[in-house]
Chain A
Amino acid sequence: MAEISEAHDSDSSKLQDSGSEAPQRPESEPDFDPKITRKTKPGLKRLFLTFSVLFSFLLGFPFLWKSVEIYRSPLPFREIDSLSTQLRSDNLLFPLHFHALFVGFDSEPDSLRRSILSAIARLASQNPKCSNNYTLSVTVDLDSRCLRSPTSSPHSSTYQCGSITAADFVQNDDVAVDERLASVFGGKTKEYSVVVVKGGNERAVVGKHRHAWMVVGDGSEVEVAAAKVAELLVKVFINGGREEGSIRNEFMPVGADGKIVLSFNLLNADPRDWAYDRDFEKIDDTLLAPMIEALGPVANISVESQVLYHTPKASFSYWNQKLESYVFSTKDLPFFVNSNEWHLDTSIAAGGRSKILQFAVYVPSAKECPLLLQLLNGEISKTNGFISPMWGGVVVWNPQGCLKDSEFKSGAKNIIPIQDLENMFEVFIGQFRQLFGFKSVNVYAGASGDWNLLPSERGFTEWELDVLSRQHTCFNLHSCATTLGSLSRLVQSLPRMIIMDEIGKQVKFSLEAANLALSNASSRVYESSAASSSKASSLAEDAFFHPSIMSVSYYSFEHCFAVYSPFFLPVSMHVLLAALKELRRYKQEKAKNLAWKAKANSAS
């Protein structure tokens, strides 16, 4: 073929190939060397051809790249970043309003306000994650008229002058006073009120609602009272009365889906000695149900209960002659829970990411009864129980008299007396409060004096619930931001990971819920803020743990290379080499031609 075309093609191929043919003709010329000179211009046809093949190859690469691309739903990386920077830059402020009412004092409200504010500023240690934005109004009630500061505050106007008098505090019944204050201040406003009254026997009480009162002696100074008020506002109403650093503040035993399962277990160490049952339904109705209802905005709590048998504890206890009982000390506590024998199963009813808190009543066997917990200072624990953060609590209950019941029959049902059971569940509620970081005792010992905390029959008082929901919102928003941040880092670090549309949607909704929570928090709607923050966090978790992220369909570069290399490696070798060779030859021939031209020029 090539030869025929050679014969037929007259000019173009001749012209190009003349480079090869030409040197034959001027054989006669003595100084003509075909190896270094040529008369004609080197042809461009083959060079053009090989390069066009090469370029078409190169042009094909983007199409190939497009064809092996995998589906990635676009994630709002920028919004995620902005959310986390917004949270980090301390923009999550919970506005709080305090109202201090001084009854029977004769002093300037402005100066009082200033001194309280300065005391607050001294005390308030800024939480690194969530801070509060507070306003304060001070009212001095002079029976007939009120002095307010600031005068134009919208909050202080709700209080009717003269509705609280010193006579209200004469009685020692704190609950009645609490109810009286509740009726005065009303439950609607979300402000925290402190009433300072002069006269009567001194006491300081924090009520079940959002107010506290303090009765001071006649001779006491107003400055001392102001300092105490400031401490109350900061340490109790803002921080929930807990010590800094006892349990990490933002730590909440709430599952990622906003659920808690309270699993109550009754562990009979050895049913051959005795086996006890309890009337759980009654306790559930009377003690647990109000608490669960109260905690509704923070967590969705469900309760379950079981009795287990043959569950010895894993630690040892020693006979103490003086106490006439078996004693286990605080250093044995890490080994008390016997995870081999205590089958405190995870719940089937609970969803995958619910938090399960185990509360176990341990009924010791006859060999180790009565069993008491000795504290570090050598005293015997009153509750005879302990908590394990994020796991739950254990209470040891010793049966009456610890005598082996000779009349114990297998069929007979021994039931824990209802009084003991109520005590036990009160301990559990205390432990539950401790797991949330609150104190189990009813006294707050501050630097400037003690405050009695009035316990609520619902387990948690209103101001405690406020603290919890603020903290919950804060914790959820931060965990949401962290999860989304991790997701975005993961997605960005694995460029060949498939991302489904669903993940994109979940991330979008999670961001929307987080922003809603932020805006609700700043407008003091704590409940809905807590709800949307938990929604945000759970959606973020959903997106992060979406099954498709874990799937095998992660299509790696190695696969791509293995599939395409058998074609592209040899072909690109050919194409590149051909292009290189042609280029080199063209240069060579051009140089020859130039040499010939120069020679011809010099000759002529």
Chain B
Amino acid sequence: MALLRRPLLVLILIVTYQFLQLWIAVGSVIEEGQKQEEFYEELLLKPLPDRKVLTHFHFQSSAPPTSNGRHHHLFPKAISQLVQKFRVKEMELSFTQGRWNYESWGGFDSIPSSNAKPPGVELWAVFDVPQHLIDALWKNLTHTLSGLFCASINFLESSTAYSAPEWSFPPASGNLRYGTLPREAVCTENLTPWLKLLPCRDKAGISMLLDRPSIYRGFYHSQRLHLISTGSGSEGMDPGIILEQTLTVVLQPNSQRASLDRASEKHIQPSWSLSSIFGKQVSGKCVLAETSNVYLLLDRGLVAELKQLHEENEKSAEKVLTSENFRTNPCFELSAKPDRIFIEESSLLSKNSSVLYKFKVEKYSEFEPFDLGLTWKIPVVWLCRQAPLHASRFLMGSGNERGAIAISLKSTQSSESFMGANSDDERCELRVDVFQVVPWYVKVYFHSLQVFVDQQPKAVSDIIEKIHVSPSKDKVSPGVMELVLKLPCSVSSAALTIEFDKGFLHIDEYPPDANQGFDIPSAIVSFPNFHASMVFLENDSLNKSPLLSKFQEKSHVMSYTEVLLVPLTTPDFSMPYNVITITCTVFALYFGSLLNALRRRVAEEERFLKDKAAKKTGRLPLLLSKLSAKLRGRHSEPPHSPPGPASSSFINSKLVLKVILVAGVAACWQHYFL
């Protein structure tokens, strides 16, 4: 018994000791967590159905509230000064190139909902100041950001470029300002200042992968900066800030299987590795980061497909996917062994759940760099989860006078399950929020709003539950339309159309390439009933990951529509000068003829005519005939003897006078300018 009891005692002791340790550790983490600045770096890789790879870099720095915000250990100084100076409560800035392909890359997960952005620059900010100060702060903020990120964000300063959405934009608040620049070109000069905000920049850690040529070769590239200041309770304290920097890139891996026969290669997904898509490897973590992880996400559709394949092979799919032994996985092969495997907490709606492989970068070093590779063994075809409705927007009508904007919403098949789940309710309704900003020169007639559901025109009041419209003011503010639509769940397609007139701009207001057309910024279509969240069964709360906690956040499913290009009537920019010239020419002609008429001596002319009749030839015809003869190069003898040297000298003096006059004008001109 004693022997038995003693180990038990020891065990209890060990357990309590460990518990204590854990408790102390937790305590210290919480205590430290309130005081210390932290930095996390993470990378998510996800194979996409159309033979591409999604890479999503996620960096998070956080600064706790302090009484003296003048010193920062990890947090970028520029951002904390920005927050303090402009009293920013929340801000998001994104630079995007390319368009997120909602159909094949998915539209439901948290990555497309929060990281798929409209092309160009999008900026919104919530300020912590009274209403009347916001606009001034916004203007200063745009200038500062444009200096900080080497972009023309300062064009958002003009009141025609930004708007103040009331409630449809997700962090709905009266202190919000929103603006986009659809035509801003995004390139490496915007990435470098963004990287400067990271403590390790691209010198160490995951960010070493950011090879500029590979990134900008991608199909979609979105660089985002989101900051939220956690207000402090007491006065005089600087707010804590959480800065989230993400870079989402969709890349096409080069096929590595050149040796395989073509028939199978066509169907098989391309294999890739970090070094093949970025041309670089990760040599260890950024030492300043709390955690440095790489995740590989196999989404629901893919897992389901793999399971199906396995069922044919009569194996437990779940086990295979989550087993540690990757060499035996019949579907794909990973070049590195994952440290953890997470399975998504399956929702009630679907049996399938995504699988997430976690790789810790800290195990690797310069001598043993981390290079994750995925090699497919069998062809797989799957679909990403789609948003309940696929939104697209287009222009209708022709000509340079008027047109119409149409937003069409098409049901996606994959979302039927959601509809099914909600359809127990008799009055199942799908709520859709639409937020649309229209520049002032596109004059929208809000009364002409029409709604079509399943190709049938419906009364606006039946479908639209709530509408907020702030009409545009010429050269002052853009038009904003915020709508809440209630669509029946069984809807297969819906469309909104609204007519507009194209306005005329002042000649100064045209951009340099006016003939290219004018952009109408993307509309935002969000589905508040649907939340994009992935909850992974995670039991190590110590090792917290901002990326995974971001996935768990219940964010609205959101999608952006296309940017529309509206051709406006562009004037001939030389027209004012042409008008001036022709008017002046008419005036000059009038003056000339008036003067001639006034100076005319009719009687004298008559006398001359009589003279001419008497002499048969006048002086003028004689001269003309001489001139024509000279021009023809023939020497024709005049019919009568010429009037002599008197007339020729007269002509000469006239000519000389004219030449002198012209020369004098030229000399004056020259003198004036040289």
Contacts and interface: CB of A to CB of B under 8 A. Distances in A.
* A-B complex is real: yes
Interface string B594-606: 0111111111100
**Chain A interface main SS type:** helix
A355 to B, nearest CB: 17
Given A6-B603, A271-B200, A284-B68, A574 B144 contact: no
B77 A345 contact: yes
Interface string B469-480: 000000000000
Interface in B419-436: none
B73 interface: yes
Given A410-B287, A566-B581, A284 B70 contact: yes
B577 interface: yes
A387 interface: no
A349 B200 contact: no
Nearest to B604: A20
A584 to B, nearest CB: 10
Contacts of B36: 413
A306 B71 contact: yes
Interface in A267-304: 271-272, 275, 277-278, 280-281, 284, 303-304
A50 interface: yes
B595 A50 contact: yes
Most B C-beta atoms less than 10 A away, residue of A275, A277, A348, A563: A348
Interface stretch (B320-328, B582-590, B632-640): B582-590
B10 interface: no
Interface residues of A, number: 47
B78 A345 contact: yes
Contacts, number: 130
Contacts of A305: 70-72, 77
Given A309-B200, A571-B587, A574-B592, A582 B599 contact: yes
B288 A50 contact: no
Given A24-B607, A271-B288, A281-B71, A348 B204 contact: no
Contact of A307 (B73, B148, B362, B597): B73
Interface residues of B, number: 51
Given A50-B599, A271-B200, A310-B204, A20 B607 contact: yes
A343 B196 contact: yes
B348 interface: no
B290 A410 contact: yes
Interface in B454-501: none
Contacts of B82: 348
Nearest to A263: B77
Given A20-B604, A410-B288, A348 B148 contact: yes
A549 B333 CA distance: 67
B85 interface: yes
B620 interface: no
A306 B603 contact: no
Contacts of A46: 598-599, 601
Given A275-B287, A410-B287, A410-B288, A567 B70 contact: no
Contact of B72 (A24, A303, A307): A307
Contacts of B580: 563, 566-567
B200 A570 contact: no
A575 interface: yes
Interface string B279-300: 0000011011110000000000
A462 B141 CA distance: 41
A405 to B, nearest CB: 12
B204 A306 contact: no
Nearest to A558: B673
A3 interface: yes
Contacts of B76: 306
Contacts of A272: 204, 284, 287
A347 B76 CA distance: 11
8 contacts: A20-B603, A21-B607, A24-B607, A281-B70, A284-B68, A304-B70, A563-B577, A567-B580
Given A280-B71, A281-B71, A574-B591, 5 more contacts: A17-B604, A20-B603, A24-B607, A309-B200, A345-B77
